[in-house]
Structure 1
Amino acid sequence: MIDEALRELEHYLAEADGRLDPAVEARARELLGFADERLRAGEQTVVALAGATGSGKSSLFNAISGTRLAHASPKRPTTAKTLALSFSATNGPLLNLLQITRRHEAIPPTSQLTDVVLLDLPDHDSTHLAHREEVDRLVRVVDQFVFVVDPQKYADAALHVRYLRRLAEHRDVISVVLNHADELTGGDPILAESPDSLDDQLQQLLRGDLRLDPRVARVADHLRGILADDGLHDVPVFVTDAIDGEGVDLLRHHIGRVATNKRATQDRLAADLRNLADELRRIGGRPGAVDDGAVAELNREVAVAAGVPRLAAGVRKSVQRRGAMLQARRAGDVPQLELPSHQVASAADDARAASAVRKFVTASTVNLPERWREEARRRITAGPGARLAPRVDAAMRAVDLSPLEAPFGWGLARLAKWLPVVVLVAFGGWLVWEVVWGSGEFAPKLLTIVAAAFAGTVLVSLFGDWMLRLSARRAERRAARALGAAVETEVQQVIVDAVRAELEAHARAESALQRMTGILARG
């Protein structure tokens, strides 16, 4: 189960690489790396005893282990460096991972402790910063915590605020021991009566109905209430007298059962992963998509900045100018179409394109997590965005506008323009002949034909001008489409695809996170 969850976390980090808050990403990668090493180090259960100065933590360590390895002092901290006691052959890779150098081996007092590594941590309230840092470090990585308190300082804020409240999600791997319970009874037994077996005692303790001396029970109940306020409801609370050994067998039995189940490491890592998943979900953002309307607006703005309307208008003017020359002269005497030159975009044009890119990226990534959104904008505007202008410029220069130099209708317009002229000359000559040398019989008809031809010449000339303008505007539209298509291709490849890649990476990361959460929920 943990292996599957870790694979999904690895997928998440691969997609979110460099797009998360650096501190969050560092914690996630640290957990991923540690979990992998911890699982490979074996199934030994690491149980850490933590407590304040004078709580009897080291004495309890000795009582549980049946050794005198831990040095106890009621007045000052004596554990400067963590002590590790293995009840089987020392697991070097495991202790190396935990960075523990003080290592001992001992015969287990019970067979249940064979796979236990018992740690005696420095006092968490030590005046030495290095001691507190050691506790802080190991609390984040050991499999089971046993926090040792005493009747005088069990409500100490240093323990509850700095440690226990922060470990609420790890309550399944935490136990609390009220040590020195004999101080409450004045030497009387801690237990009101002895049940038949340790299993019976443990079940009663877990249910909260273990029969304790009333003086001890009041303090234990108060301690359980404080723990519930910390979010640690149902955490087992043991009562012991480490010196006389009362209650130690029950605590040892509990530790042994945890180790025998061989789930301590899995439970600890699962709790860490759930905490991380909760944090990642809080900053996860929402699904995003590229809006087609926003893409169209981006294409328009970049095309204007790149000079597409100006170039297309230049094509119209060139076509219209050459068409007029063709109407007036023979085609062979007219020079080829002079297409407008492509000018380098000005600073204002570049700024307009850059502004359009920023607007598009901002609108498209608005649903991403804050850090991811900022990183996506930086990557796209500083990377693909900076390459857009030269690529658009090169793409527009590569567009072939030569098919526009002879628009449809020019030949028809020339033929239509000259036909009335021919009619006018022919019938005008006939009219002159009829008036001067003929009978004049056809003169009225010929005069009508000549007048009609003259009127037709004027109309056809106007029609030719209209046809020329129509053809020029058509050439302008075709040029705008060709140039615009080149711009759209570059915008798509450079900007839109980059934004889509960010959104798709976020979607894949969120899917991996959901799968990881589902795996952990199945437990």
Structure 2
Amino acid sequence: MSERKVLRAQASLSGQIDSLSEAMKLGESYLDPQTVDFAALVMSRAEARRQLSSDHVVIGLFGATGSGKSSLFNELAGAQLARTGVIRPTTTKTIAAIWNPEGSGELLDWLEVDDRHVVDSMFGATTAPRGTTPSGGLILLDLPDMDSTALEHHEIVERLSGQVDVMVWVLDPQKYADASIHQGYLDGLGSHEGNLLVVLNQIDLIAASDRAAIQKSLTGLLAQDGFRGLEILPASSRTGEGIDALRTRIAKLAENKALSIRRLKADVDQVIHRLVAELGVEQVNLPGKLDQDELEQGIAAAHGVDLIADAAERSYLLRASSHTGWPLTSWVIRFKNDPLKRMNLGRNHEHPELALTSRPPLSVAQSATIKQSVNTYLSKATDGMPVGWSEELRASTTDHLDELDQDIDVAIATTDLAIDKKSWWWPLTKVLQWASIIVALGGALWLGALAVAGYLQFAVPEPPMVEGFPIPTLMLLVGLLLGIVLGIAGSFVNRMVAKMKRKHVHRNLERSVAGVVRQHIVDPVAAHLDQFNSYADLINQAAKKAD
């Protein structure tokens, strides 16, 4: 790979890791813990490997007990570095053969390999064929047997399988189909095909007539593991068959300085594909204005906004009747209970923010209505959202419904109902009412005086006439009629104004409730959706650079 392509691959990988790191900060608490741990492991491993030597390619030999892995390692290294024999397992710790060791120390420290051996550039063979010399930096590792009964051996294999740049799986004719190899390790490594070799070792133990069938069988098994074009290299450390071809392949790998980047990118791509699969949708949208209105109005109705508005209407009518009714009887209205005051509303508290209403607790039906309104809104908000994100939003929202109810009660108690203000026509009506009473009373007294005088047979002048009607009679009739008209007109106007007041109170209460609903539900939901959309955008950006 040219230097330009290497730099391009490095830039692409860096961009993916940056996007993935930011995405994990946003979505860590909403993702499956295993996914989070896997992503954290891959990113930490990628960050660490990028800081270490890029001049060395790390190749690990993996295999089961008896596969001849250590013998193959010794043959490639040109020295008896790994112990071989009949005792199993023969490899109990990782052994490193190092070509061009300068700068490899920190890399080997990170790999946690202490048994290190520097070998010459000719694989230890003075007659090595041309093309088998790894002129670049190379670290060849012989790992413990992957099917060892020792737990620490499994841990080493598991760890290094994620750290080496190239995995060479050494299979033997007896165990090449072992499920512990395919299901335990190879299955799921399909994305790493460019960083993986398969060696069918001990090929000398297979009759020439059976080799094609065994290779075909192994090819089928590898295809089931996700490998479609993976070449199988036959070899035998005992007879030397295929060793030069394997040396040549490893020498070429040692020249490819982009292998570590390609391996890291494959790991990062695997994380990204896993996160994309869990993503569900690229973006989610906040429910529309109509949905928000339904939520706010549903909660307001459950909190009795209609009943409070009705009470405000009746309260206004009571106060209006006491100010505009017939003065001789309107005082009785003052003894009637004000429905707003029974709820501890409309009292003009000096510190209204400390006031609470005297409304009864929410009924089961009202609480169910609130929950239903909230659930409907959340269902629309989380449509298509991954389960972890939607469940967290639902849980956090429903956990705060009690606080929502308390704050709504305070909001209702502090809402300016504007019921205590007197209407401008009340004093005028009161003056006219008293004037009508005085006129009627004056006419009645006048007529009474005339009647008494006539009864006592006093000579009294005839009362003045207007259009043939005595003025005292007119005064009585006009006073009574004016009182009746004022009463009817005042009642009509008061009812019209009361309905207007009801609408005004209802609107103000809905605004107060809506403000609390936005604070406790709409705004947190919007923030959660923005966070998810930012997370999804970062994941999608990283996915565009994935293979």
Interval of TM-score (by shorter of Structure 1 and Structure 2): 0.7 to 0.9
Q: Does 1:133 align with 2:155?
A: yes
Q: Which moved more, 1:79-88 or 1:94-103?
A: 94-103
Q: CA deviation at 1:408?
A: 5.8
Distance across 2 between alignment mates of 1:83 and 1:351: 68
Contact 1:124 1:135 in 2 (8 A): yes
**Alpha-carbon distance in structure 2 between the residues aligned to 1:439 and 1:480:** 56
Aligned to 1:346: 361
For the pair 1:374 / 2:391, whether they are aligned, the reply is yes
- Check conservation: 2:169, 2:198, Cα contact below 8 A: yes
* Map 1:63-462 → 2, pairs under 5 A: 63-74=75-86, 76-87=88-99, 88-89=101-102, 91-109=104-122, 112=134, 114-184=136-206, 216-286=211-281, 287-291=283-287, 292-328=289-325, 329=327, 340=341, 341=344, 342-343=357-358, 346=361, 348=363, 351-352=367-368, 353=370, 356-382=373-399, 384-402=400-418, 404-407=420-423, 409-410=425-426, 414=430, 437=462, 442-443=467-468, 457-462=483-488
CA contact (8 A) 1:319 1:405 kept: no
Tell me the equivalent position of 1:466.
Answer: 492
d(CA) in 2 for partners of 1:229, 1:104: 37
Report SS of the residue matched to 2:41: helix
Paired residues, what number? 489
Q: Tell me, yes or no, if the aligned pair for 2:61 and 2:170 is still in contact at 8 Å.
A: yes
Deviations 1:174-213 (A, max 9, x none): 111111222336xxxxxxxxxxxxxxxxxxxxxxxxxxx7
Which residue number in structure 2 is paired with residue 17 of structure 1?
Answer: 28
Corresponding position of 1:61: 73
Deviations 1:464-507 (A, max 9, x none): 11211222222222222222212211211221111111111111
1:270 and 1:345, CA in 2 relative to 1: closer, same or farther beyond 3 A? farther
Equivalent-residue separation in structure 2 for 1:424 and 1:216 (angstroms) = 130
Q: Using a 3 Å threshold, how does the CA distance of structure 1 residues 409 and 16 change in structure 2: closer, same or farther?
A: farther
Bigger mean CA deviation after superposition, 512-521 or 65-74: 65-74
Taking a change above 3 Å as real, the CA distance of residues 439 and 10 of structure 1, as seen in their structure-2 partners, is closer
Contact 2:284-2:384 within 8 A present in 1 as well: yes
Could you tell me how far 1:424 is from its partner in structure 2?
6.7
Q: Which amino acid aligns with 1:258?
A: L
Matched-pair identity in %: 29
One-letter amino acid matched to 1:398 = T
- CA displacement at 1:31 relative to structure 2: 1.4
The range that moved more, 460-469 or 442-451, is 442-451
* Cα distance, 1:266 vs structure 2: 1.4
Q: Secondary structure at the match of 1:166?
A: coil
Q: Go from structure 1 to structure 2 and tell me whether the alpha carbon gap of 1:452 and 1:140 turns closer, same or farther (over 3 Å shift).
A: same
Counterpart code for 2:82: A
CA distance in structure 2 between the aligned counterparts of 1:249 and 1:471, rounded to whole angstroms: 103
What is the distance in 2 between the residues matched to 1:347 and 1:164?
Answer: 60
Unaligned runs of at least 5 residues, structure 1: 186-212
Q: Is the 8 A contact 1:284 1:368 kept in 2?
A: yes
Measure, in 2, the Cα distance between the counterparts of 1:385 and 1:259: 63
Q: What secondary structure sits across from 1:100 in the alignment? A: coil
Q: 1:237 to 1:480 in 2, by over 3 A?
A: same
Q: Does 1:36 find its partner at 2:31?
A: no
Distance in 2 of aligned mates of 1:416 and 1:112: 115
Encode CA deviations 1:256-305: one digit per residue, 9 max, x unaligned. Answer: 22231211111112212222222212221333333233322322233244
SS at match of 2:139: strand
Residue 191 (structure 1) aligns with: none
Deviation at 1:228, TM superposition (A): 2.4
Deviation of the 1:402 alpha carbon: 4.4
Does the 8 A contact of 1:399 with 1:486 survive in 2?
A: yes
8 Å contact kept, 1:365–1:499: no
Name the CA distance, whole Å, in 2 between partners of 1:413 and 1:82.
104
> 2: CA distance between counterparts of 1:113 and 1:377?
60
Where does residue 201 of structure 1 map in the other structure? none
Report SS of the residue matched to 2:117.
Answer: strand
**Alpha-carbon deviations, 1:60-82, whole Å to 9, x = none?**
11111222111122562211122
Q: CA deviation at 1:39?
A: 1.0
Residue pair 1:240, 1:248 contacting (<8 A) in 2 also: yes
Tell whether the 8 Å contact from 2:436 to 2:482 is kept in structure 1 after alignment.
Answer: yes
Whether the aligned pair in 2 keeps the contact of 1:124 and 1:131 (CA below 8 Å) is: yes
Q: Is the Cα–Cα contact under 8 Å of residues 276 and 543 in structure 2 kept in the other structure?
A: no
Q: Work out the CA distance in 1 between the residues paired with 2:360 and 2:528.
A: 29
How far did residue 112 of structure 1 move?
2.2
For the 8 Å contact 2:442–2:475, the answer to whether it is kept is no
- Mean Cα displacement is larger for which, 227-236 or 390-399? 390-399
1:140 and 1:182 map into 2 onto residues whose CA distance is 31
Q: Letter of the aligned partner of 1:343 in structure 2? A: S
Residue of structure 2 equivalent to 1:196:
none
2:513 counterpart residue number:
487
CA drift at 1:457: 4.3
| Aligned partners of 1:410 and 1:468 also within 8 Å | no
Higher mean C-alpha deviation, range 437-446 or range 132-141: 437-446
Q: Could you tell me how far apart the structure 1 residues matched to 2:319 and 2:464 are? A: 47
CA distance in 2 between counterparts of 1:92 and 1:351 reads 67
Which residue in 2 is equivalent to 1:190?
A: none
Deviation, structure 1 residue 454: 5.3
| Shift in alpha-carbon separation, 1:268–1:419, aligned structure 2, 3 A | farther
The answer as to whether partners of 2:53 and 2:103 remain within 8 angstroms in 1 is no
Q: Flag the 1:386–1:12 CA change in 2: closer, same or farther, 3 A.
A: farther
1:234 positional shift? 1.2
- TM-score with structure 1 length normalisation? 0.82
Alignment RMSD, CA only?
3.4
Distance in 2 separating the partners of 1:135 and 1:180: 22
1:66-109 Cα shifts (integer Å, max 9, x gaps) = 22111122562211122223321463433343333433333333
Instruction: Output the amino acid matched with 1:279.
Output: R
Measure, in 1, the Cα distance between the counterparts of 2:491 and 2:142.
Answer: 101
Query: 1:183 corresponds to which letter in structure 2?
Result: L
Secondary structure at 2:90 match in 1: coil
Shift of 1:430: 11
CA distance in 2, matches of 1:75, 1:389: 74
Partner of 1:519: 545
Tell me whether 308-317 or 158-167 shows the greater mean CA deviation. 308-317
Shift of 1:143: 1.4
CA–CA separation in structure 2 for the residues paired with 1:264 and 1:467: 89
| CA drift at 1:214 | 6.5
In structure 2, give the amino acid aligned to 1:393.
D
Is the 8 Å Cα contact of residues 53 and 74 (structure 1) preserved in structure 2? no
Once the two structures are TM-superposed, the CA of residue 428 in structure 1 deviates from its matched residue by 8.9
CA distance in 1, matches of 2:176, 2:59: 20
Give the 3 Å change call, closer, same or farther, for CA 45–463 of structure 1 in structure 2: same
